[in-house]
Amino acid sequence: MIIKLKNKDKLVLSSFIFKCSIGKAGLNKKKKEGDKCTPFGTFQLGNLYWRPDRVKKPKTKLKCIPIKRDMKWCNDQNSKYYNQEFTKNFKISHEKLFRKDHKYNYFIVIKYNYKKVLRGRGSAIFIHLTKNYRPTLGCIALSENDFLILSKILNKKTKIQLI
């Protein structure tokens, strides 16, 4: 099963079409940290994270991980934790996963630069929530309703094609 990006503003899976937004600078085959591009290619999906203090655990075949206050995602190119979730209090650049806004109430990891991590090639690429479809910093953003529908359809073998 493959989710396909179409016209840079739709995700298509079978007969489902979901409005989405991508990185402000569009797609890029040579993604770099901070370039505001969504990576070009076909990628596996990782775990689904959710905020149990705000939303219900979604119905999905993906592994679900509750987001806790101390959870972060490293975007520091010089750290051994680059493009990984961590909880320790290191003084390294990171994104908080327990956010004040709604964007990470639910999110799915896109396994870009994930297995064999190349420093500086981009980190924290997710499918997350949006209310206004403004361009992202490199992620894919969906409405909460569409995200929940999509998450019901996905399985551990689903891939996302961003071309």
What percentage of the chain exceeds 90 in pLDDT? 96
The kind and range of the H/E element at 150 are: helix 144-153
Taking all residues of the chain, what is their mean pLDDT, rounded to a whole number? 96
- pTM, two decimal places: 0.96
Helix (H, G, I), strand (E, B) or coil at 1: coil
| pLDDT tens for each residue of 32-62 | 999 999 999 999 999 999 999 999 999 999 9
65 strand-pairing partners? 49
Quote the pLDDT of residue 11: 97
Question: How many Å separate Cα 68 from the centre of its chain?
Answer: 17
| CA dist 131 → 48, 68, 100 (Å) | 19, 23, 14
Give the pLDDT band of residue 124 (cuts 50, 70, 90): very high
DSSP code per residue over 27-68: EETT--TTS-PEEPEEEEEEEEEE-TTTSPPP--SS-EEE--
Structure confidence by residue, pLDDT tens digits, 99-109: 999 999 999 99
- Mean pLDDT value across residues 18-30: 97
pLDDT at 97 over 90: yes
pLDDT (tens digit per residue) in 59-93:
999 999 999 999 999 999 999 999 999 998 888 99
Instruction: Count Cβ atoms within 10 A of the Cβ of residue 116 and give its class: 0-12 exposed, 13-18 middle, 19 or more buried.
Output: exposed
Structural domains of the chain ordered from first start: 2-162 (2.40.440.10)
Return the ∠ at Cα 81 (arms to 160 and 31), rounded to 5°: 40
Tokens read off for 100? 């004040």
